Amino acid sequence: MSLSPDPMPAPPLIGVLAMQGAFREHLRALASCGAEVRAIRDPADLAGLDGLVIPGGESTTMQILLERVGLMDALRDAVRRGLPTLGTCAGMILLARDVTDGREDHRGLEALDIVVQRNGYGRQVDSFEAELDVEGLDSRFPGVFIRAPVVLEAGSAEVLAEHEGRPVALRQGRIMALSFHPELSGDLRLHGEFLKLVRGMGKS
Amino acid sequence: MAESNGRSNVLKGGFKVKAGHAEMLKGGVIMDVVNAEHARIAEDAGACAVMALERVPADIRRDGGVARMSDPVLIRAIMAAVTIPVMAKCRIGHTVEAQVLQALGVDYIDESEVLTPADDENHIDKHAFTVPFVCGCRDLGEALRRIAEGAAMIRTKGEAGTGNIVEAKRHLSAVAAQMRHLVGLNRAEIVHEAKLIGAPLDLLRQVQELGRLPVVTFVAGGIATPADAAWMMQLGADGVFVGSGIFKSEDPARTAKAIVTATTYHDDPEKLADISAGLGEPMRGLEMAAIPREELLAGRGW
């Protein structure tokens, strides 16, 4: 039994889906924010997580691999049971209720009430950087958009940021989704916001 | 070239989104395809991108002659067939082939030694483009010269079209050994090192500080089995290019799938055993000593 009157709370354990894509950058960013981190490649890796990040990468590749190794159903259950989750770019596509311009034979996690258009901003030559006003941050956030999805319908999700009139950051319950890449920006504030959500300190 | 649209704070074609796109390909497999049917097989297998070219390297090697950029009809058909990124190859130094590929809207250009070089002195000024470029290297100096010209992604060359991993391993190890060597160098010694390996000093200093190349680094040239791919990943590659290894194997769809899965689970020998089982014959492959020196592709590019 600890005699310390005011023990430090244990750091939250955050899993980052590591099938393919920029998962290392998320692991590094979350560790810099004080979280314990774990790369997720098997259903057993989901045990004991306080939060989950679905990174950027190729959404088609991730979807195929998740189905192939039997991780898709386990992830769907975990997210639907309320595991706090952050999805960036491909991660947003995987979380969406519906996806247009993707492959018709694939089903994602269907955990967030939004409809997205895959590569909605165009191909790589249309990839861009833009400064964003994000709800809850006191100055602009550097948005890096790479073959990014466009949010066509925000459904019941709360819009946290827009770019040229379209939502680019959303939140619904304990799920956050961004169409850009905070892990490439060198700015840790949105990872910090996600950890607040994990700790139950986020704005409700 | 980076351009701002004037009316808002939007920047397109900056190095951040060029190099950032490669970050999204990491841990993945990029497969050579010559038509839409191949591209669909690659996508179904879980490739993170496809590389459009006229002939796979093993056929270029067999046929001889000048190898050039693919017909735009084929590239358009491949782009229409899949939702994953489409890369395409242009000849070393051939600025107009690259302009054509950019106009077609490909997602990445490979300025590649697998095609016949068009300029025996200069590579393309890649900073002048909005589309990002990947270039090959055999050592650190070559990698940094390409990055200085604007490459946003590097792949070690290996020896394309051989199905023999030995050169890929050699080039990946050479870059790693040269980076380890930088660790102990002081400010004067690194100037000398830059001269010795023909590397721009500012980039060499950056590598010394980072302990790695400043861009994503894939491996290419000779990968033919899931174990080949997993080995390259264990040695520190960010991902793999597979050319002839897929469509010259007995069962391309199964081989492609197995190489993708092996790349994700590269650290798990038990899974790799299952992944490698019963795939049929891999591509036949070539012993290096059987290739006449003047037919080696890796020596192209400078």
Closest A-chain CA to B49: A58
**Can you give the pLDDT of all 302 residues of chain B as single tens digits?**
667 655 568 999 999 999 999 999 999 999 999 999 999 999 999 999 999 998 888 898 889 889 999 999 999 999 999 999 999 999 999 999 999 999 999 999 999 999 999 999 999 999 999 999 999 999 999 999 999 999 999 999 999 999 999 999 999 999 999 999 999 999 999 999 999 999 999 999 999 999 999 999 999 999 999 999 999 999 999 999 998 999 999 999 999 999 999 999 999 999 999 999 999 988 888 888 888 888 888 888 87
Alpha-carbon distance of A128 to A7, in angstroms, equals: 45
CB contact (8 A) between residue A25 and residue B49: no
Tokens of B101: 């590929």
CA separation (Å) from B124 to A126, B128, B151, B250? Answer: 21, 9, 9, 37
Which residue type does B222 have? G
CA distance B130 to chain A (A): 6
Identity of the residue numbered A62: M
What percentage of residues in chain A have a pLDDT greater than 90?
89
Annotated binding-site members of B for D-ribose 5-phosphate: 32, 161, 222, 243-244
Cβ neighbors of B28 (< 8 A, separation 6 or more) are A20, A21, A57, A58, A61, B47, B48, B49, B239, B260, B263
- Cα→Cα distances B208→A162, B19, B52, B93, B148, Å: 39, 19, 35, 29, 16
pLDDT digits 0-9 by tens, A44-98: 999 999 999 999 999 999 999 999 999 999 999 999 999 999 999 999 999 999 9
ipTM over 0.90: yes
pTM score, whole prediction? 0.95
A137: closest CA of chain B, how far (Å): 18
